[in-house]
Amino acid sequence: MPEKKETQGKKTEKEMTLKVSDIDPKFKYKISKLSGAENVLLCFQCGTCTADCPIARFNDFYRPRKLIRMTQLGLKDKLLSNDSIWLCSTCFTCIDHCPQDVGIADIVRALRNLTVKEGKMPAVYKELASNILKTGYAYVIPELRLKKREKESLPSLPKANLEKLAKLFDVTGLSKMLEMVRT
Amino acid sequence: MPKYLIFLGCVIPYRVSSYEISTRKVLAKLEVELVDMPEFNCCGFPLDPINHDTMLTLAARNLCLAEQQNLNIMTLCNGCFGILNHVNKELKEDKKIKEKVNAYLKEVGMEFKGTITVKHLIHVLAQDIGFEKIKDTVKKPLNPLRVAQHIGCHVVRPGKVVGFDDPENPTTLKNLIKATGAKCLDYMDETECCGNPIIGVNSEIPLQLAREKLDHVRAVGAQALITVCPFCHMMYDLHQVRIERKFNEKFRIPVLHYPQLLGLAMGMSPDELALKDLRIDASELLNLL
């Protein structure tokens, strides 16, 4: 998912205008029921999260404060089509510094989960998930590495029970999501 | 004799076995017994962004495997620690989430009970073994070395979940470094994230973050950077040449896993500690000893 270039400069009037139909007034309540996101309504927009965010320093689009405000306003579609929600590196500095105890990184995670539910995710996550399903490990460990372990007299790697893993992917709904998702 | 179930995670066997090799050597010397996981699946960290429930369940399954062995988990990876510790605490404290996860686990004949704890290597070293005992094993103090620490995020943050050290000014790794006789230098933005978790989505930002970190480390004259996470280590060691090329810089800062530093102080040879596996050559550093 390449980063958008800020070449157009100003946004068009159409892009800046919010319509009532863009707003889902129940969205904030839906989010606030998710684990870690309970305090979303307490955010008073001080901006500490954005000021202390290492990602925001190197990027013009990722602004945690803004994402929380958009969540409060119920701008669901704009949020879920916003590629910048995938830029949080989960360092949790925002959570530690928030004076209102808002689980900012958890809310971003909730937004990502909803985006996936709607059928969209970055390719890398699909790859990681499929590696885990196939091997138990997030990366496919090359045969050469396994042989090297023997040479280094490291114990052989624990194996995954792939049948049980597939079952857990099924019952938690991830298998279905992976089938329908586009990257 | 302390005994732990060692949770390697995915990154270490994939790319960073030098961390595992040096950890096993050093812990054997400190008389810590390690038992390998009988069975394994990824801690769940990479799946949290796409499905929180799958993450909870995969983490809980590993916790159940540890419960069956009646052993506490020790991770080497900050990411694995962050996830397993958080899920373990959440399931112990929140009945509703525990019920939900146990309903999933029932499908594979398992149940989370909440009988074990999760630690990271750094907690085991600092709390269970202690600085004094570590100092006692130092045979060749590394007095000539001046290094910097990078503790990483998930062993200290979120503070209210981890409850270990001061996330704003973490001193545990610094004290562990000092125990080897090496000097640990302060530098700007020590607690800053390596950025690696998003490298698959956007490589630009993590490379810039890592460049800045290496720049700050160089500015204070540190001869090496010391890490305790394979993911952070990859960012600074494996990607360092890429960063140098991209920004037309020359850092050549060796990045050592803490157990490699401790092993050297214990008198082990660089080969034993897999120092030659590092991408950034550490021989100049070793010549100082």
At A16-48, the pLDDT tens digits run 788 888 899 999 999 999 989 999 999 999 999
The percentage of chain A sitting over the pLDDT mark of 90, rounded to a whole number, equals 85
Rounded mean pLDDT, A153-165: 96
Beta bridge partners of B176: none
Q: CA torsion sign, A92 to B195 to B202 to B81? A: negative
* DSSP three-state, residue A87: helix
Do A116 and B51 count as a contact with CB atoms less than 8 A apart? yes
Examine the domain organization and report whether B162 and B219 are in the same domain.
Answer: yes
Do B90 and A35 count as a contact with CB atoms less than 8 A apart? yes
Does residue B275 lie in a domain region?
Answer: yes
Do A158 and B36 count as a contact with CB atoms less than 8 A apart? yes
How close A169 gets to chain B, by Cα (Å)?
7
How close B46 gets to chain A, by Cα (Å)?
7
Examine the domain organization and report whether B168 and B268 are in the same domain.
Answer: yes
Structure tokens at B110: 């398992």
What's the ipTM? 0.96
Nearest to A108 by CA among B130, B279, B201: B201
Query: Would an 8 Å CB–CB cutoff place B69 in contact with chain A?
Result: no
The answer for B 214-273 residues in CB contact with A (under 8 A) is: none
Query: Would an 8 Å CB–CB cutoff place A139 in contact with chain B?
Result: yes
Does residue B159 lie in a domain region?
Answer: yes
Q: Which of A87, A141, A174 sits opposite B202 (nearest CB)?
A: A87
Does residue B129 lie in a domain region?
Answer: no
Examine the domain organization and report whether B100 and B243 are in the same domain.
Answer: no
Domain termination residue (choose one: B72, B89, B120): B120
Chain A residues whose beta carbon lies within 8 Å of the beta carbon of residue B196? 89
Do A54 and B192 count as a contact with CB atoms less than 8 A apart? yes
Examine the domain organization and report whether B140 and B276 are in the same domain.
Answer: yes
CA distances from B77 to B15, B162, B214, B218, B229 (A): 13, 15, 21, 25, 5
Do B51 and A174 count as a contact with CB atoms less than 8 A apart? yes
Distance of CA B163 to the CA centre of its chain: 17
Examine the domain organization and report whether B146 and B271 are in the same domain.
Answer: yes
Q: What is the pLDDT of residue A9?
A: 56
Interstrand relation of B118-120 and B146-150 (parallel, antiparallel or unpaired): unpaired
Q: What is the pLDDT of residue A183?
A: 75
| Residue B229 belongs to domain spanning | 134-287
Extract the residue ranges of chain B whose pLDDT is less than 70. Answer: none
The percentage of chain A sitting over the pLDDT mark of 70, rounded to a whole number, equals 95
A2 vs B93, residue with greater confidence: B93
Chain A residues whose beta carbon lies within 8 Å of the beta carbon of residue B37? 158
Examine the domain organization and report whether B202 and B91 are in the same domain.
Answer: no
Examine the domain organization and report whether B141 and B116 are in the same domain.
Answer: no
Q: Looking at the 3D structure of chain B, how many domains does it have? A: 2
Rounded mean pLDDT, A99-118: 97
Examine the domain organization and report whether B149 and B271 are in the same domain.
Answer: yes
Query: Would an 8 Å CB–CB cutoff place A90 in contact with chain B?
Result: yes
Examine the domain organization and report whether B141 and B282 are in the same domain.
Answer: yes
How close B72 gets to chain A, by Cα (Å)?
17
Residue B64 sits in a domain whose CATH number is 1.20.1050.140
Q: What's the pTM value of the predicted model, to 2 decimals?
A: 0.95
Q: How many residue contacts between A and B have a Cβ separation below 8 Å?
A: 181
Among chain B residues, CA nearest to A1: B201
HEC letters along chain B: CCEEEEECCCHHHHHCHHHHHHHHHHHHHCCCEEEECCCCCCCCHHHCCCCHHHHHHHHHHHHHHHHHHCCCEEECCHHHHHHHHHHHHHHHHCHHHHHHHHHHHHCCCCCCCCCCCEEEHHHHHHHHHCHHHHHHHCCCCCCCCEEEEECCCCCCCCHHHHCCCCCCCCCHHHHHHHCCCCEEECCCCCCCCCCHHHCCCCCHHHHHHHHHHHHHHHHCCCCEEEECCHHHHHHHHHCHHHHHHHHCCCCCCCEEEHHHHHHHHCCCCCCCCCHHHCCCCCHHHHHCC
Do A173 and B51 count as a contact with CB atoms less than 8 A apart? yes
Residue ranges and CATH numbers for the domains of chain A are 21-117 (1.10.1060.10), 123-180 (no CATH)
Mutate to test the interface with B, among A55, A87, A111, A135 (most CBs of B within 10 A): A55
Inform me whether the pLDDT recorded for A7 exceeds 60: no
Nearest to B64 by CA among A133, A161, A169: A161
- C-alpha A50/C-alpha A29 separation (Å) is 23
Chain A residues whose beta carbon lies within 8 Å of the beta carbon of residue B20? 154
Does residue B127 lie in a domain region?
Answer: no
Examine the domain organization and report whether B281 and B140 are in the same domain.
Answer: yes
Q: Which of B46, B54, B204 sits opposite A3 (nearest CB)?
A: B204
Query: Would an 8 Å CB–CB cutoff place B108 in contact with chain A?
Result: yes
Inform me whether the pLDDT recorded for A2 exceeds 60: no
Q: What is the pLDDT of residue A166?
A: 98
Residue B254 sits in a domain whose CATH number is 3.40.50.11810
- C-alpha B217/C-alpha B215 separation (Å) is 5
* DSSP three-state, residue A130: helix
